[in-house]
Amino acid sequence: MDWTKFDAALFDLDGVLVKTTQLHATCWKRMFDCFLSSDAARRRVAFHAFAIQTDYPRHVNGKPPYDGVRDFLASRGIGVPEGEPADPPDRESICGLGNRKRALFLQALEANGVEVYEGALALLRHLRGDGLKTAVVSSSRNCEAILRAAGIADRFDLRIEGELAGRLGLSGKPAPDTFLEAAKQLDVEPARAVVIEDAIAGVQAGRAGHFGLVIGVDRRVSPAELYAAGADVVVDDLAETIRMDDVRPRPPK
């Protein structure tokens, strides 16, 4: 791949740079299953657990945490108060449940640490060596903690994460706002920037922002779904973008 055609690379965090997707999914399941069990008992209906294989990619992955809570509960026809970002984790509100998941994740992060994808490290070294600007664009409010735990906080010129997006009034993925803000702050035209994502919502955001290239990373979502969401190419490993002969081209229509 000729990276000299571009001036910047905008990376998602979880599932693209670091191996936290399963950890996030497990914490979402713990939080939702606890809530769903109590809700089912209260309403005297059957309990249906949160399904990592289907509910996580469809309703939660890649979205701001409160949006994920809201979208998943809506898919089950369950309504709870919106609440406030300061809600404690034991409060059954959109914000309270999101905060409960975050508390579970931070506990797991401290206990288990985080691993970086070797292909992502190889690509970062390549891009920094070529003088491209790099940014992390993540819906996570744990972005800084994860980057520091992974030892890669110094590999990026910019970080756009959940709390900053909230302060700036930016809509979360699949809206392109956070990626466009990153390009703006890096002083790079979207057409000269590459978006790198593993989630459907993130790929959709890259396509909606009319970025020069959208790379889908095949982690939990199938290549067909990533292409349908707007990916230009799909890779198993980001090191493949340094040797593009391994990249699977978009299938013919």
Going from N- to C-terminal start, the domains of the chain cover 3-20+115-246, 22-112
Q: Quick one: pLDDT band at residue 245, thresholds 50, 70, 90?
A: very low
Query: Is 14 among the catalytic positions?
Result: yes
- Determine whether domain 3-20+115-246 maps to CATH 3.90.1150.10: no
Question: Which DSSP string corresponds to the chain?
Answer: --GGG-SEEEE-SBTTTBS-HHHHHHHHHHHHHHHHHHHHHHHT-------TTTHIIIIITTS-HHHHHHHHHHHTT-------TT--TTS-SHHHHHHHHHHHHHHHHHHH---B-HHHHHHHHHHHHTT-EEEEE-S-TTHHHHHHHHT-GGG-SEEE-HHHHHHHTPPPTTSSHHHHHHHHHHT--GGGEEEEESSHHHHHHHHHTT-SEEEEE-SSS-HHHHHHHT-SEEESSGGGGTSGGGPBPPPP-
Q: Is 200's pLDDT higher than 80?
A: yes
CB within 8 A of 253, min separation 6: which ones?
A: none
What pLDDT band is residue 31 in, cutting at 50, 70 and 90?
very high
**Tell me, what's the pLDDT at 54?**
94
Q: What is the mean pLDDT of the chain?
A: 92
pTM assigned to the model: 0.77
Residue 249 pLDDT > 50, yes or no? Answer: no
Position 240 confidence tier, pLDDT thresholds 50, 70, 90:
very high
Tokens 């026809």 label which residue?
Answer: 77
Q: What is the mean pLDDT of residues 64-90?
A: 96
Q: CA 34 to CA 46: how far, in whole Å? A: 14
CA–CA gap between residue 8 and residue 6 (Å, rounded): 6
Closest CA to 15 of 251, 227, 226: 226
pLDDT score of 253: 47
* 154-195 pLDDT per residue, tens: 999 999 998 888 889 999 999 999 999 999 999 999 999 999
CA distances (Å), 165 to each of 3, 178, 181, in order? 28, 7, 9
Question: Which amino acid type is present at position 193?
Answer: A
Residue where the block lists tokens 């459907």: 200
CA atoms of 104 and 108, how far apart (whole Å)? 6
**Among 12, 55, 67, 198, which one carries the catalytic annotation?**
12
Active site residue 246: no
Angstrom distance (rounded) from CA 146 to CA 24: 12
